[in-house]
Amino acid sequence: MIHLITGGSGSGKSVYAENWLIRQGGREACGKEKPFLYIATMRPFGQESRQKILRHRNQRAGKGFATLECYQDLEALEIPENAGILLECVMNLTANESYREDEKDAQEKGEDKVAEKVLEGIRHLSEHTAYLAVVTGQVDGDIDSYSEETRTYQKILGETNQKIGSAADQITEVVYGIPVPVKV
């Protein structure tokens, strides 16, 4: 089962995703010795991102999560046995795949290829777990005021979110900490 969880910055979507995964009962079904996997995609650039990473680690402490850091190439990740997977977050993963140091950027290699690469990774994760919570953010509606590079990223993210939404069994938007079902 794929559950796409979206919301604005600071909306509570991460806590909701953690709690949703725990409620699915995956650890009871497969044995409590198997952890939930938290796949972290945020690169620790700068003090602000390091603080956010620490806040998220503290927030899930004691909940049975094992953290795997994977900034790109999810499709190549070896997935250990698990009770469920939380992917945090599609926004970071899309940026990481768009601006890879080992390849051309998204504008040169094609927007569709970036979206497909992210989707390929999500398909890979879903094949290795019964429960996959995918956290993403929302694209700002006023994209005309941004640079061409930012607009390209937002377009790719919007397309990627739509495709994940089509594949998802469930979608929830978290607004001010309140989960609003979009697709059930």
How far apart, in whole angstroms, are the C-alpha atoms of residue 179 and residue 130? 22
First to last CA, the chain: 11
Q: Tell whether residue 123 is among the known ligand binding residues.
A: no
Q: Tell whether residue 49 is among the known ligand binding residues.
A: no
State the CB neighbour count (10 A cutoff) for residue 151. 14
Q: Tell whether residue 32 is among the known ligand binding residues.
A: no
Sign of CA dihedral 45, 125, 10, 96: positive
Q: Tell whether residue 43 is among the known ligand binding residues.
A: no
Q: Quick check: is 56 catalytic?
A: yes
Q: Tell whether residue 50 is among the known ligand binding residues.
A: no
Q: Tell whether residue 13 is among the known ligand binding residues.
A: yes
- Bridge partners (DSSP) of residue 37 are 66, 85
Among 3, 56, 124, 128, the one annotated catalytic: 56
Catalytic site positions: 56
Which residues are known binding-site members? Answer: 7-14, 57-60, 69, 88
Which residues are known binding-site members for GTP? Answer: 7-14, 57-60, 69, 88
